[in-house]
């Protein structure tokens, strides 16, 4: 079945989630971050994801901005920086304006030129996603931005992946689903999508019942996959 629709996770896939901490570390006001911004970014991201999974399992949904704030608060306390309100606010402000990875605009443009439908499917709340899309300047390259807030549960719940077929009227086998999260790519493969894992960090494959069809180091090969 040919691919007609390319769906992208947002955070870590299109948008660089470590960029907020990296940018803050370059600010003379926050010199404390210069040596450990990467560790803070990693811990922030890990807790953000863990809280989304735990809330999904417990049936205690909140929007992704609240989860993002909670994850940052945990990471700042773990790093001994939780008494710096200005640093916290700066990191959150920067997170609302994340840039896209360098290859994203050309990759999306190539998909559109090939006649593909393109969209984001993300845990992010609509306001967060609108800000990131605007900041990255890719709004004209997307047909839609789908948020889990319409179903009230985080990925990898199947109701989230159902949003794609409901929006585009396509079969799962027509969808190339792209994520930098190994667990997300695996769950999407289990759902029936053709899944591509963007494994920028060279991590091991997740030990889950499903395996993504493709593994790439970045997004530059996505257009070629969609046309195969």
Domain ranges of the chain: 5-15+99-227, 19-95
The predicted model scores a pTM of 0.95
Task: Give 227's pLDDT tier (boundaries 50, 70, 90).
Answer: confident
Q: Assess contact for 193 and 160: CB atoms under 8 A.
A: no
Name residue 120's beta-bridge partners.
Answer: 8, 145
Name residue 121's beta-bridge partners.
Answer: 146
Task: Render pLDDT for 34-58 as a digit per residue (tens, 0 to 9).
Answer: 999 999 999 999 999 999 999 999 9
Listed in sequence order, the residues at least 6 apart from 190 whose beta carbon sits closer than 8 Å to its beta carbon are 208, 209, 210
Out of 9, 16, 63, 184, pick the active-site residue: 9
Mean pLDDT of 173-191: 98
Active site residue 83: no
2.40.50.100, 3.40.640.10, 1.10.150.240, 1.10.150.530: which CATH number matches 19-95? 1.10.150.240
Q: What is the pLDDT of residue 226?
A: 87
Burial class from Cβ neighbours inside 10 Å (0-12, 13-18, 19+) for residue 60 reads exposed
State the DSSP code for 123: S
Instruction: Specify the CATH number of the domain 5-15+99-227.
Output: 3.40.50.1000
Rounded Cα distance, 135 and 122, in Å:
17
Q: What is the pLDDT of residue 1?
A: 80
């Amino acid at each position: 079945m040919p691919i007609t629709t390319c769906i992208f996770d947002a955070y870590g896939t299109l948008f660089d989630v470590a960029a907020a901490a990296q940018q803050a570390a370059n600010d003379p006001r926050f010199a404390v971050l210069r040596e450990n911004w990467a560790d803070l970014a990693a811990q922030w991201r890990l807790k953000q994801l863990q809280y989304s999974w735990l809330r999904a399992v417990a049936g205690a949904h909140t929007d992704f901005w609240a989860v993002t704030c909670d994850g940052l608060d945990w990471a700042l306390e773990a790093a001994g920086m939780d008494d710096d309100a200005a640093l916290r606010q700066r990191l959150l402000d920067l997170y609302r304006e994340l840039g896209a990875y360098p290859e994203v605009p050309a990759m999306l443009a190539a998909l559109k030129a090939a006649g593909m439908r393109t969209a984001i499917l993300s845990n992010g709340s609509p306001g967060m996603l609108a800000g990131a899309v605007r900041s990255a300047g890719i709004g004209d390259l997307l047909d839609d931005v789908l948020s889990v807030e319409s179903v009230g549960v985080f990925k990898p719940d199947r109701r989230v992946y159902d949003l794609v077929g409901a929006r585009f009227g396509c079969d799962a086998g027509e969808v190339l689903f792209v994520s930098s999260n190994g667990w997300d790519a695996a769950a999407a493969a289990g759902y029936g999508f053709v899944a591509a894992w963007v494994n920028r960090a060279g991590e091991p494959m997740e030990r889950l019942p499903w395996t993504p069809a493709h593994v790439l180091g970045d997004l530059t090969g996505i257009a070629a996959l969609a046309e195969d």
